């Protein structure tokens, strides 16, 4: 039995005006364009926030490096945890700084001897291979801080560079410690 609706004679003539009816076309066009538009808008906003977070980390690492360079960290006897807490107190936009931020401070005898261990392992995960060696007067020191920023944009829109959809935010500073030897307390 044929269940398709049958148009009575002249039925096609009654449907002809609907072909030219424009009502609802704006809603259909908006629904087609809204998803890509808002995805692109959200990715642009997130790119700006990532840029701000990177800039903030650069500033904080430069300030922390200045404290190492001038011997303030060594004179105060700060541990790796104290140094990390000092940095976390200044960093904004990092939700879980104490467990998500990695701080690597290493000293070298010359700038030619500086070697950088990779921040990301072969699987695309952050490497936790860090040390805390602020060095003495005249030593070459590299201070690095890094963490994974959780990308929220749909499809990551090219923002993700870590396994699991994160973005590596990193900052480093290299310098020669000042001759602060006479500033340290005796026995330091």
163-185 pLDDT, tens per residue?
878 888 999 999 999 998 655 55
**Residue 19 pLDDT > 60:** yes
Q: Which residues pair with 140 in a beta bridge?
A: 108, 176
Question: What distances in angstroms separate CA 98 from CA 23, 51, 80, 184, one per listed residue?
Answer: 56, 21, 12, 28
160 vs 13: CA distance, rounded Å: 56
156 vs 163: CA distance, rounded Å: 12
Query: 69 near 175, Cβ under 8 Å?
Result: yes
| DSSP label at residue 147 | E
Query: 174 near 61, Cβ under 8 Å?
Result: no
What backbone phi and psi angles, to 5 degrees, belong to 103? -120, 125
Say what the pTM is.
0.77
Mean pLDDT on 141-155: 86
pLDDT tens-place string over residues 86-106: 999 999 888 788 888 999 999
pLDDT at 123: 83
């Amino acid at each position: 039995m044929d269940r398709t609706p049958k148009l009575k004679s002249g039925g096609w003539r009654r449907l002809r005006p609907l072909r030219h009816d424009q009502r609802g076309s704006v809603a259909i066009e908006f629904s087609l364009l809204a998803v890509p538009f808002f995805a692109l808008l959200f990715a642009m906003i997130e790119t700006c926030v990532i840029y701000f977070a990177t800039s903030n980390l650069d500033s904080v690492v430069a300030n922390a490096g200045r404290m190492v360079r001038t011997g303030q960290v060594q004179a105060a006897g700060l541990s790796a945890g104290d140094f990390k807490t000092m940095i976390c107190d200044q960093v904004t936009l990092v939700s879980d700084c104490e467990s998500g931020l990695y701080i690597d401070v290493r000293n070298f005898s010359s700038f030619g001897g500086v070697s950088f261990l990779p921040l990301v392992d072969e699987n695309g995960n952050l490497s936790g291979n860090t040390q805390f060696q602020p060095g003495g007067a005249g030593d070459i020191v590299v201070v690095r801080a890094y963490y994974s920023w959780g990308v929220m944009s749909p499809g990551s829109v090219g923002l993700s560079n870590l396994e699991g959809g994160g973005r590596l935010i990193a900052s480093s500073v290299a310098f020669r410690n000042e001759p602060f030897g006479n500033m340290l307390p005796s026995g330091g």
